Amino acid sequence: MSVDTSSLKEDWIMKRAQILAGLSIGAIALTFPAMSDAPKAPPLEPVHVPFERSCEDTEITVYFSNQEAVLSSYAVRSLNTAGDRLAGCSISNIEAKVISADSTDTERSTTLSEARAAIVLEALNARGIRARDVRMNFAPAVVSDPAETTNLPMARRVDLTVTASKGYGL
């Protein structure tokens, strides 16, 4: 009985080529998750990001709809952000400049301006932003055509300047 060594050698070469091809395909398949757009798994431990308050002078602008003294959702978010940023700070004064170009009637404009200033200051007070000194300045916006006031949201606003320093608040 003679064994044909050439056929065994060819079988071994063929099996070796198949094994190498299989390992190559396996190695390539392992790199696919790294190249995918799938997000990585979240970390197992929760990440703590320390909150740093900013006790710096802050300017806040709150806009109003025509002939209204009601805070919009955007204004509420803006005041919430300012309240979070100024939490724990010592507020020395708040200066409110009210600009109202809603009405041609001076008395109506003054009443509306006072109502807008009051609602903004009440919202700040509810968020813990209080000052010993609150100053208000009512500035009428001069508009050439009173009909244009409905298109001028920039002329219906309360500009606040909050002076803050590090401290424990009031």
Q: Where are the domains of the chain?
A: 58-166
Q: What is the pLDDT of residue 2?
A: 59
Q: Could you give the C-alpha distances from 69 to 47, 131, 170, in angstroms and in order?
A: 42, 22, 28
Q: Quote the CA–CA distance of 129 and 52 in Å, as a whole number.
A: 17
3.30.1330.60, 1.10.10.10, 3.40.50.300, 3.20.20.70: CATH of 58-166: 3.30.1330.60
Q: What is the pLDDT of residue 37?
A: 67
Task: Provide the residue type at 84 as one letter.
Answer: D
Q: Quote the CA–CA distance of 79 and 120 in Å, as a whole number.
A: 8
Q: Quote the CA–CA distance of 73 and 62 in Å, as a whole number.
A: 11
Q: Are 164 and 56 a contacting pair, CB within 8 Å?
A: yes
Q: What is the pLDDT of residue 66?
A: 83
Residue 82 has, within 13 A of its CA and on its CB side, a CA count of 29
pLDDT averaged over consecutive 10-residue blocks of the chain (170 residues)?
67 84 82 66 74 78 87 91 85 86 74 88 86 69 48 77 74
